């Protein structure tokens, strides 16, 4: 099987991103969260979505995101926040899971060795957040101001620029960049844009994605 170099590199950088200090979490904590997501995604007999398998809200969120994302509701999000999780910790956990699962899912689908997680890099959290945050009507979490000027999926991780950057690096290799989305005829010489959207819509239906 021939895999495009840009896709290989995006997946490598995504896993390296997981093992680097985040805005609010250490690299060790991020790798711990990523390991839970990795194992949840691959589990043959996963816990049902109504079970919280860890006595740790961050790990419970990672598990459910990786295995039962379609069951997460705003009510459950608010419950986790009420238990003491900061909304930006939630954003970072989502970013870690997003960074972890695509390389794993691709490898499994392609029938190649599933990548492991790199060792965490020492260092304190960076504290890097958007210059100005705003509450959003289109999202549950705070986003970079101004809010709600773009689609909810586009602004979802914008409060933490490093998570946002990794999301779009993955999107650019696996799908297309946000700029390319404006062109209905864009393609990279393989599937046409309508074919890409058909595949995406079918997968979204199968995985019960509300988008």
Measured at the CA of 97, the angle between CA 105 and CA 210, to 5 degrees, comes to 80
Q: What percent of the chain has pLDDT over 90?
A: 76
Burial class (CB in 10 A: 0-12, 13-18, 19+), 36: buried
Q: Is the pLDDT of residue 210 over 70?
A: no
At 88 the pLDDT is 98
Task: Tell me the average pLDDT of the chain.
Answer: 93
The answer to whether residue 137 is domain-embedded is: no
In a domain, 34, yes or no: yes
Q: Quick one: pLDDT at residue 154? A: 86
Higher pLDDT among residues 203 and 126, named by residue: 126
Can you read off the two tokens belonging to residue 116? 């492991």
Per-residue pLDDT for 141 more than 80?
Answer: yes
CA 171 – CA 78 distance, rounded (Å): 28
| Residue 208 confidence (pLDDT) above 80 | no
CB 24 within 8 A of CB 88: yes
Domain that holds residue 44: 5-126
The answer to whether residue 72 sits within a structural domain is: yes
Total domains present in the chain: 1
Asked whether residue 135 is assigned to any structural domain, the reply reads: no
- Of the candidates 119, 122, 116, 120, the residue with the CA atom closest to the CA atom of residue 100: 116
As a whole number of angstroms, the distance between CA 129 and CA 158 comes to 9
Whether 14 maps to a domain, the answer reads: yes
pLDDT-wise least confident of 71-75, 133-137, 154-158, 203-207:
203-207
Q: Is residue 189 part of a domain?
A: no
Give the model confidence (pLDDT) of 7-31 as tens digits: 999 999 999 999 999 999 999 999 9
Could you tell me which residue, 135 or 179, shows the higher pLDDT? 135
SS3 content of the chain, % helix, strand, coil (to 5): 55, 0, 45
The larger pLDDT score, comparing residue 143 to residue 2, is at 143
């Amino acid at each position: 099987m021939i895999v495009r170099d840009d896709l290989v590199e995006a997946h490598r950088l995504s896993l390296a991103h997981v093992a680097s200090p985040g805005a609010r979490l250490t690299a060790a904590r991020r790798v711990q969260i990523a390991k839970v997501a990795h194992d949840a995604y691959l589990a043959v007999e996963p816990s049902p979505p109504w079970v919280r398998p860890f006595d740790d809200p961050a790990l419970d969120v990672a598990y459910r995101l990786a295995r039962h994302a379609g069951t997460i509701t705003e009510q459950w999000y608010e419950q986790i926040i009420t238990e003491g999780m900061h909304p930006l910790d939630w954003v970072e956990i989502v970013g870690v899971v997003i960074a972890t699962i695509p390389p794993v899912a691709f490898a499994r689908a392609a029938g190649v060795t599933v990548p492991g997680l790199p060792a965490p890099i020492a260092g304190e959290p960076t504290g890097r957040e958007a210059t100005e945050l705003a509450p959003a009507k289109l999202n549950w979490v705070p986003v970079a101001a101004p809010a709600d000027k773009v689609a909810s999926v586009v602004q979802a991780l914008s409060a933490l620029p490093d998570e946002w950057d990794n999301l779009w690096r993955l999107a650019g290799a696996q799908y297309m960049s946000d700029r390319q989305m404006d062109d209905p005829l864009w393609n990279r010489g393989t599937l046409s844009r309508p074919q890409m959207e058909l595949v995406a819509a079918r997968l979204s239906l199968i995985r019960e994605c509300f988008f």
